[in-house]
Amino acid sequence: MKDQNIIPCPNCGTVVNVYRNPFLTVDIIIRMTRGTVVLIERKNPPYGWALPGGFVDYGESLETAAWREAREETGLEVEDLEQFRAYSDPKRDPRHHTVSVVFTGVGKGTPKAADDAKRVRVFRLEELPANLAFDHAKILADYFDLQAKA
């Protein structure tokens, strides 16, 4: 079949139209002090340093997903959670098309790597690693540009 969205049902063989949609994710820019952000080093591909974040579970709000992902990957509780921007370039994740709603917030506690995080570290703008995963270099550039104008 030419159109990859038209496939036979595996149970009855009836041809059905499958709607493909991007996966919904959240990323969190966690500040520990002014001018710093928390990044995780990813355990799994794609490797590199990244903002804490992940997929939104079915039945979960974006805010709840952001709090959960921050806690799972960094051990931090996030206060003053605010929506920053959404990023939707189909090429932002090499695995599949994702749309990320990015949040900002203030981290409380001591960062500790867990879940998908191999390491966690607090970086200043001038220390950001070169090997940022996904489109996180763009997200952080947008964030720090906005902070500089404030």
Q: Which DSSP category does 35 fall into? A: T
- Report the pLDDT value the prediction gives residue 2, as an integer from 0 to 100: 45
What residue spans define the domains of the chain? Answer: 23-149
Q: Is the peptide bond before 46 cis (omega within 30 degrees of 0)?
A: yes
- Report the pLDDT value the prediction gives residue 73, as an integer from 0 to 100: 96
Question: 23-149 domain in CATH 3.10.130.10?
Answer: no
- Report the pLDDT value the prediction gives residue 4, as an integer from 0 to 100: 60
- Report the pLDDT value the prediction gives residue 51, as an integer from 0 to 100: 98
- Report the pLDDT value the prediction gives residue 3, as an integer from 0 to 100: 47
**Distances 136 to 16, 51, 110, 142 between C-alpha atoms, Å:** 37, 7, 23, 10
Spell out the residues 6+ positions from residue 30 whose beta carbon is closer than 8 angstroms to its own: 37, 38, 51, 52, 70, 74, 76, 78, 104, 105, 106, 107
For 47-65, how does the pLDDT look when each residue is reduced to its tens digit (9 = 90+)? 999 999 999 999 999 999 9
- Report the pLDDT value the prediction gives residue 40, as an integer from 0 to 100: 97
Question: What's the N-to-C CA distance of the chain in angstroms?
Answer: 54
The first and second tokens of residue 117, run together, are: 């995080």
Digits of tens for pLDDT over the chain (150 positions)? 344 677 777 778 777 777 789 999 999 999 998 889 999 999 999 999 999 999 999 999 999 999 999 999 999 999 999 999 999 999 999 999 999 999 999 999 999 998 888 999 999 999 999 999 999 999 999 999 999 987
